[in-house]
Amino acid sequence: ERSRLARLRHTPAVTLDGERIELLANIEMPEDAPVALEAGSAGVGLFRSEFLFMGRGIDLPDEEEQYGAYRRAVEGMNGLPVTIRTVDIGADKPLEGMTQSELRHESVLNPALGLRAIRWSLSEPSMFRRQLRALFRAAAHGPVKILIPMLGSAHEIRQTLEQVALVQRQLSESGKPIGKVQLGAMIEVPAAALTLPIFLKHFDFLSIGTNDLIQYTLAIDRADEAVAHLYDPWHPAVLNLVYQTIQQANAAGRGVSVCGEMAGDPAFTELLLAMGLRSFSMHPTQVAAVKQRVLRADTRRLAGAVDIVLASDEPEKAWAEAQVAGGAPA
Ligand code: PEP
Ligand code: MG
């Protein structure tokens, strides 16, 4: 079993019909890079940078500390691409001892709808620029992509791009070495998924955060046990938004990945492939299981079933039936 898994690690993720699939890892700290490599991932699709900020009170990391951490992650991946998400603070990832009383106030009633992620970064622009500077500097040491969480409107996109441009100017004046970065947006709010042309116009790539997309589409708090039975990745509304996002990004020639739990769940591998997804980012422990699915999948055979599944009021059942009818290998 061990040697079979070791062999699998070095097997390229290619489907039966020859489609090359990118399997990436989600990490929380630079020290996770060896784990991502060991799992056989082709890079990091989501480095949740907020973990550098959490559990340390108001002693937030400065530019140098962040630069060091991002650089370690980049160097640890030996030249493979590393997608680093700017802080997704707030909601289920609170900062203890925050000095901003606004944040504490907003958190009381409805933290998931409050000042979290890019909203928080834009409310603390010097903090945001500090992080962006560290990221551009880390990019001098290997391929870095910057990913912005929770964007929902053209207004936020404009403000974000202004900060990025300002940081690039500051850095080029300072003469510090920086690297080229690709800039991407998380699609995890229905408003974003329903206005994709705006996102495709301004960003190099998209990454679908299904964990939050499910939460916000279905109005189900992802952390609330009382409604956990209603948190349904198979809900047709969710599947339609995921499908539209993949299709429109592919049509525009932009990279698109899924980095929520759905990407690491083998039950969704074939469906996501059939929808046109070619890049998946997941917890390192899931890479082997998803790769096994990829190796046995034929993307042409199941593509026709997507429409049936999207129109069904029981998509999970419809998909299972389509696989049996399509003779998908066991
Ligand atoms: C998501 O929302 O799917 C996601 C990947 O981000 P997080 O789980 O960190 O909110
Ligand atoms: Mg999210």
Ligand nearest to the CA of 238: 1
Query: How many A from CA of 318 to the centre of ligand 1?
Result: 27
In short, whether 264's Cβ falls inside 6 Å of ligand 1 is: no
Protein residues with C-beta less than 5 angstroms from the ion ligand 2: 188, 209, 212
When pLDDT is cut at 50, 70 and 90, the band that residue 99 belongs to is very low
Residue 97 scores a pLDDT above 90: no
In short, whether 157's Cβ falls inside 6 Å of ligand 1 is: no
| 272 catalytically annotated | no
Residue 101 scores a pLDDT above 50: no
Give me the mean pLDDT over the 68-88 stretch: 98
Q: Give residue for tokens 């925050």.
A: 98
Which of 28, 49, 212, 218 has most ligand 1 atoms within 8 Å of its beta carbon, as the pocket-test mutant?
212
Binding-site residues for phosphoenolpyruvate, in ranges, read 48, 85, 211-212, 222
Choose the catalytic residue: 259, 271, 277, 306. Answer: 259
Tokens of 187: 């699609």
Please give the Cα distance from 217 to 302 (Å, whole number).
Answer: 26
Residue 104 scores a pLDDT above 80: no
For the stretch 19-53, pLDDT in tens is 999 999 999 999 999 999 999 999 999 999 999 99
In short, whether 240's Cβ falls inside 6 Å of ligand 1 is: no
Residue 92 scores a pLDDT above 80: no
61-75, 94-108, 135-149, 227-241: least confident range:
94-108
DSSP state of 86: P
Query: How many A from CA of 212 to the centre of ligand 2?
Result: 5
In short, whether 130's Cβ falls inside 6 Å of ligand 1 is: no
Residue 20 amino acid letter = R
Q: Vertex 176, ends 175 and 180: CA angle to 5°?
A: 105
Q: Vertex 48, ends 54 and 217: CA angle to 5°?
A: 105
Please give the Cα distance from 236 to 218 (Å, whole number).
Answer: 10
Instruction: Work out which ligand 1 atom sits closest to the CA atom of 48.
Output: 9
Query: How many A from CA of 215 to the centre of ligand 2?
Result: 9
Query: Residue 162 contacts by C-beta under 8 Å, 6 or more apart in sequence?
Result: none
> Dihedral of CA 6/12/18/22: which sign?
positive
Query: Residue 56 contacts by C-beta under 8 Å, 6 or more apart in sequence?
Result: none
* Cβ atoms within 10 Å of 263's Cβ, excluding its own: 28
